[in-house]
Amino acid sequence: MIALIAAKENSERVPNKNTKPFADTTLLELKIRQLQTSCAFDQVVVSSDSKVLLDRAEKLGALPWERAASLCQSDTPMGEVYHALADRFFGEFGDMPLAWVQCNNPLVEGPYYTKAVRAWNAKTDAYDCLVSVHRVHEYLIKDGQPFNFTRFPWGRSQDQLPMYSLNFAICILRARDMYNWSSLIGKRPLLFEIPRADATDIDWPEDWAYCEAEYKLRNPASCSYFAS
C-alpha cells in the first residue's frame, strides 16, 4: 500500500504550516517518520507545489511528486485534487489501495496507521473505503431544531447515540475509486475511530498551540526545557 501526503506550500489560517518549526521538527517531516515507523506502507509519496517540501521529503526517503500550482489554490475544489492525484496512480497501479494522509494530525502516530491498514485488510466487501473519525457527544441543532436529542426527556450528552466527525487523519480506498469518485469517501465507509484528543486537525493557531504542547509532553526530548 502507498501512503500519499498532499502538502501544499501555502496555508491561509496557519501561514507556512508545513514548513515552520513544530517542536523539534516540522509537520511534514514528523508525518513521514510516523508513517515509516508504522511499517504499514510500501512507499510514502509526497505531493506538493513546494520545492522545499519535496526536497525534505526526498531526504527522508519519501517519493516526491511535484504538483501543479493550479491544484494548490485555496479555491481549487478538492474533488479536482483527488481526481488529478489518483490519475497518477490509476494507470500504473489500477486496483491498488491508497492511503490519503494529512500532515495536520501530528498526534496520530505510527500505531494508528498500522491498525488502520490491518482494519482495511480485514474488511469485507460490505465496505468500499476506510475513513478515520472521532466520536462526537454533543447537543446538535439543525435548522433551529434538536438534531440528536429530545427536549423531553432531557438526556445526558454521553448517553446520546454516537455521531462521528471525519478528521481525515487517514482515508484508505482504491486508486481507481478515488479517480472515479473524485472523493475519498464511498457509499459504504468503514469507520476507523481515533480518540478526539489524538485526532486534532491543525486548522487554526489554537490547534497548533494545543498539538505542539501535547507533542512536547509526550516526547520530552523534543523540547530543551523538558529534556534538561
Q: Which residues contact 81 (CB under 8 A, 6 or more apart)?
A: 6, 71
Q: Where are the domains of the chain?
A: 2-134+164-227
User: 213-224 pLDDT, tens per residue?
Assistant: 999 999 987 664
CATH for the 2-134+164-227 domain, from 3.90.550.10, 3.90.580.10, 3.10.129.10, 3.20.20.70: 3.90.550.10
pLDDT in tens, 44-84: 999 999 999 999 999 999 999 999 888 888 888 999 999 99
> Is the pTM value of this prediction over 0.85?
yes
